[in-house]
Amino acid sequence: MNIDAIQNGIVIDHITAGRGMRIYELLGLDALDVSVALIKNAVSHQTGGKKDIIKIDSDMSVNFDVLGFVDPGVTVNIIRDGQLVEKRRIDMPERLTNVIRCKNPRCITSTERAIDHVFKLTDRKNKVYRCVYCETKA
């Protein structure tokens, strides 16, 4: 399979195999009017296993909180003029705002539409986020 190199854009690499589609959906990449390649189950020479990769052929901003929530440890490569100009390793964010929604039907975010859905990281080891309003686990 051949996927052309991008000249200006973003490569999200080292995505745990199977999580690429979730990142694709949460970032809203389907709404973009640019070339986007989602590569699933590519061979990872680093781990010896499999990984997903997303290539976006556009210089755009990416919500790093989404990446850190779905798959901490992914790398984001910024490409300009066909060259790697920046490489970032993404970690879990301390707070998430409007990335996920609270499941508690009695939470104020369920009844008041203008309120942001905010979650805080309460247990890094187990990747637990809780709603800041009602403490419901995400």
pLDDT digits (tens, 9 = 90+) for 14-56: 999 999 999 999 999 989 898 999 999 998 887 779 999 999 9
| Tokens matching residue 111 | 């009844």
CA dist., res. 95 & res. 122, Å (int): 10
Q: What is the CA radius of gyration of the chain?
A: 17
Residues, the chain: 138
pTM, two decimal places: 0.85
Lowest mean pLDDT among 34-48, 98-112, 117-131: 34-48
The stretch 107-136 carries a mean pLDDT of 95
Mean pLDDT, the chain, whole residue set: 92
Q: Let me know: does 23 contact 15? Beta carbons within 8 Å.
A: yes
Residue of higher predicted confidence among 135 and 30: 135
Q: How confident is the model at residue 1 (pLDDT cuts 50, 70, 90)?
A: low
Domains with residue ranges and CATH for the chain: 9-89 (3.30.70.140), 95-131 (no CATH)
Q: Let me know: does 103 contact 117? Beta carbons within 8 Å.
A: no
| Tokens matching residue 106 | 């009695």
CA dist., res. 120 & res. 41, Å (int): 31
Q: State yes or no: pLDDT of 61 exceeds 90.
A: no
Q: What's the pLDDT at 47?
A: 73
Q: Let me know: does 53 contact 21? Beta carbons within 8 Å.
A: no
